[in-house]
Structure 1
């Protein structure tokens, strides 16, 4: 099974990914945790270009293509091989991040970004996408408390409001695939809701 965590800056995705991995381990369910961008050796180099403020200005199309390149390698080298041997794959960000950040955030046509990502991934779609929803002002304050802002964190509040709105629109369009959670809730409460949804997708494997 393939699970993706999505959300804006500072939403707590990494924390919830770790919590889910720990829970799967308790039930002896083989699992692989990964992330985008940078989940492969070539991806680490692409991530540096994308997020380092020293990169400077990238055209929105160049940025979208770099994310697609990272994702193509990620699916090829990490995600599909793990799924093929029966592991649960949990990723911190996937296609929907490009739809929200490069589509709405950079004001590219979302459907064009969707087609690009579908080509890059061979059409691989998560069984479940967990969206941790948080007001951008709150999320940016959290993220910037961790250190210097990267290229995306440094974008305007308006940019991040567009990102959030698009995530919510995507979730509303496919409610059966999404679990939308209020990221201001306590981490334990969020983790419990994620576990309940994942358990329902693993019949017979979780007592």
Structure 2
């Protein structure tokens, strides 16, 4: 696959502020005259949004971990075909709120040792990684409190509790160590404006490299 554009993903535990930072980065780059596609996972295309409703709503034990992996991979494939790859081929900046690293964590590690299955399906069906992954790091208790305060309908993973949040934070930090060439870790426990400035500086270095 050609990737003439730049593919940036945001990762972090629930309530870390990554969605806000993804939006602020998109607004910042657009103000500079760049062509930006802001998208999310699961979702980002009509078919993937339908799958999003299946996996983010309902009881915590609604799906097995293996079923979730298949659902997320199907959603990601549709998202890739219909949104991400066409934008990259057109030379655009794609900013995605979550990508495969979230599946590596939430389904690959937290609900059984299934990381190998996640990576194999990713290799077979997706075959692309972000050029840059920005990890917004956050204290698990604070992140969970933020996430639950939203009182939305997509709370299935928040309902697993703080233990999952801690495991996910540890896992994301481990991923950042595993893929240092594309991960940048930013402290999300500060004012939104300070975090945004760090994100913008980090991306500017990549764009100007």
TM-score range, shorter chain: over 0.9
1:55-75 residue CA offsets vs partner (Å, 9 max, x unmatched): 852111001110000001111
Tell me which moved more, 60-69 or 47-56.
47-56
Do residues 105 (structure 1) and 110 (structure 2) align?
Answer: yes
Alignment-derived partner of residue 140 in structure 2: 136
Alignment-derived partner of residue 164 in structure 1: 169
Partner SS state of residue 130, structure 1 = strand
Alignment-derived partner of residue 38 in structure 1: 43
Aligned length: 203
Alignment-derived partner of residue 53 in structure 2: 48
Tell me which moved more, 102-111 or 91-100.
102-111
Distance 1:113 1:129 in 2: 18
Which runs of 5 or more structure 1 residues have no equivalent in the other structure?
A: none
Q: 2:160 aligns with which of 155, 159, 182?
A: 155
Partner SS state of residue 107, structure 2 = helix
RMSD, matched Cα: 1.5
User: 5 Å matches for 1:1-207?
Assistant: 1-53=6-58, 57-121=62-126, 123-148=127-152, 150-203=155-208
CA contact (8 A) 2:136 2:187 kept: yes
CA contact (8 A) 2:60 2:159 kept: no
TM normalised by structure 1 equals 0.93
TM normalised by structure 2 equals 0.92
CA contact (8 A) 1:82 1:88 kept: yes
Partner SS state of residue 119, structure 2 = helix
Runs of 4+ in 1 over 3 A off after TM superposition: none
Could you tell me how far 1:157 is from its partner in structure 2? 2.1
Distance 1:203 1:178 in 2: 17
CA contact (8 A) 1:6 1:96 kept: yes
Could you tell me how far 1:108 is from its partner in structure 2? 3.1
